[in-house]
Structure 1
């Protein structure tokens, strides 16, 4: 996601065209006299299991200390808790993004390359090690490829592994979105002239040669890549696999909306709620997941969020982002993706949280999108299997966990309320229900999950949603679905 950030593909056109019909007259109070929608869950063979470590975060190198603090002996406990809420016991944290190619570990007798703007320090290393140890995290660490220096890359990789510990490093990821190296500036001269990291003719063959040359000097740990976005270079994944046996995690990026060329197709709340932004997005990764698995590799979308190429808080900080990410993550599981890292950094338009340290205490402001991640984490624990669901106008996802519980998520992305009647063969006893709601689809505050909200600021990061009991009637559970809302129904399986 360059600033320079990910170029859009034809998906954007589909999103805008599909968005026209999203907003109807809103009736949030009930089903408006319409007959309940009938949905059956769980008949047929269970589907794919949710992989361990599926939901992770993606951070920038300069963003670690603003989130975690600069004191290795006193890591920000609110940040740690907000990560734990989403992924237990071993979250996968990717540290990289744009800053992968702007960062180095200073090398003796080597001048700082002109495109390097951030230097790793012993304090950064200590803070990050404490974060990884406190969370039990596995790290995917970006290594500078754009500098085109084997010496720089080797020094950076060796320093990271030595300081953070080999057991914390899941993989080293070489570069970030190299398809843009010839198009977006790596740095600007003192006179303001933009300078790209590669020529405008830089292509996949040249990248593959660079990758193999740099990979050859790195420590013998698993690699991740190619860290590309958009369909062009993604189609070269088979060649990449064949050329680089040390790569164990194949990484791709995507944002459903973009600001890169937004004059005609500006991001919108409506566009974020179209099928193309969730179903279409995930389905585009399906063939790559199958290819990865056929070669014994994982496919990880290790950079995902709402809008690329800059800040757009009107969309990215709206409640729509919570409904979008909840649906998109389930779609990714179904498509065969092995993991997703939601990108966030201080000042990002789509940032998940921001932190403040005042009078010795940490606190955080939590964005609406985070609530969607919370509901997904609760509904899709590691090892839970997707259950088949009969079709209908609402998005319905169901899982059966290792604890035997059936969890059903219903998402109403429409502007009118509905009533859903769920049939769950084999379910026993009453169910519990949590709602994900906000004052409006565009709301940037007032979001709640199970009646719980972090409010304007949280000093703990602890989430405490409350569930309401829902009795069964004739083997069915009736759930009212206000416009632009989601619900999680949990019941014991038979």
Structure 2
């Protein structure tokens, strides 16, 4: 699956809004009983030659580009800034990958889904899981709303502390400046995130955690006893 099959759409398939869509879509499939999801992330397609909408883009050897161009149905033009090398090197890590990583954190160790009751008029989604290994509860809050923001009260009885990790960007249309837990792949040459990973901490107040949620952002709240 992907946001828009094969061709993609500039400003959607390669923008932060896809990072908000991806974990929500994967949780919807998990709820329906799917055991896995394959996200399309190829470097080439027959429609636009250079696929700029996958999770990853790579610089490829010139020989491979030439071979593919020779068998193409039309003449392919390499994108600006193409760097030829003898092997493969990372070109960009797109917004989609941030969403995939966030889902992986929220559902790690084959976590099981927990029921969620959500009361709001905003374009907000919430998913909760129980990690069978750590016995922690993960609550993922995805705010797709461009206007509404504020504090979300998370009520899970029996838990006393929380680690709060944020996925954010300058705007939902941003193609860069995206971060997850304070780290970004902007400028990464080997796929290792840049920056120091961090999470906020919070203590329960009257059995609830008040979590500030920004517009068009996501928050992963990991609860411990």
**Alignment TM-score > 0.5, same fold:** yes
Query: In structure 2, which of residues 136, 142, 159 is the aligned counterpart of residue 405 of structure 1?
Result: 136
Corresponding position of 2:201? 469
Corresponding position of 1:489? 221
Query: Superposed, which structure 2 residues align to 1:281-296 within 5 Å?
Result: none
Aligned to 2:92, what secondary structure does the other structure show?
strand
Corresponding position of 1:479? 211
CA contact (8 A) 2:130 2:137 kept: yes
Partners of 2:42 and 2:175 in 1: how far apart? 18
Deviation by residue 1:357-399 (Cα, 9 ceiling, x = unmatched): 7598943410011101001000101421111111223211010
Deviation by residue 1:96-142 (Cα, 9 ceiling, x = unmatched): xxxxxxxxxxxxxxxxxxxxxxxxxxxxxxxxxxxxxxxxxxxxxxx
Corresponding position of 1:391? 118
TM-aligned CA distance change 1:310 to 1:362, over 3 Å: closer
Query: What is the deviation of 1:313?
Result: 2.4
User: More deviation in 338-347 or 450-459?
Assistant: 450-459
Corresponding position of 1:446? 177
Query: What is the deviation of 1:338?
Result: 1.6
Equivalenced residue count is: 189
Residue 355, structure 1, aligned to residue 85, structure 2? no
Corresponding position of 1:307? 4
Partners of 1:434 and 1:476 in 2: how far apart? 17
Corresponding position of 2:23? 326
TM-aligned CA distance change 1:344 to 1:392, over 3 Å: same
Stretches of structure 1 lacking an aligned partner (at least 5 in a row): 1-303
CA contact (8 A) 2:106 2:138 kept: yes
TM-score normalised by L of structure 1 = 0.36
Q: Name the Cα RMSD after superposition.
A: 2.0
Corresponding position of 1:434? 165
TM-score normalised by L of structure 2 = 0.77
Stretches of structure 2 lacking an aligned partner (at least 5 in a row): 44-49, 61-84
TM-aligned CA distance change 1:361 to 1:307, over 3 Å: closer
Q: Which runs of 4+ in 1 moved over 4 A?
A: 357-361
* Bigger share in helix: 1
Aligned to 2:42, what secondary structure does the other structure show?
coil
Deviation by residue 1:212-241 (Cα, 9 ceiling, x = unmatched): xxxxxxxxxxxxxxxxxxxxxxxxxxxxxx
Deviation by residue 1:36-85 (Cα, 9 ceiling, x = unmatched): xxxxxxxxxxxxxxxxxxxxxxxxxxxxxxxxxxxxxxxxxxxxxxxxxx
Corresponding position of 2:98? 371
Query: Superposed, which structure 2 residues align to 1:101-140 within 5 Å?
Result: none
Query: Superposed, which structure 2 residues align to 1:170-319 within 5 Å?
Result: 304-319=1-16
Aligned to 1:342, what secondary structure does the other structure show?
coil
CA contact (8 A) 1:355 1:365 kept: yes
Partners of 1:460 and 1:318 in 2: how far apart? 18
Aligned to 1:340, what secondary structure does the other structure show?
coil
Query: What is the deviation of 1:457?
Result: 3.2
Query: What is the deviation of 1:321?
Result: 0.2
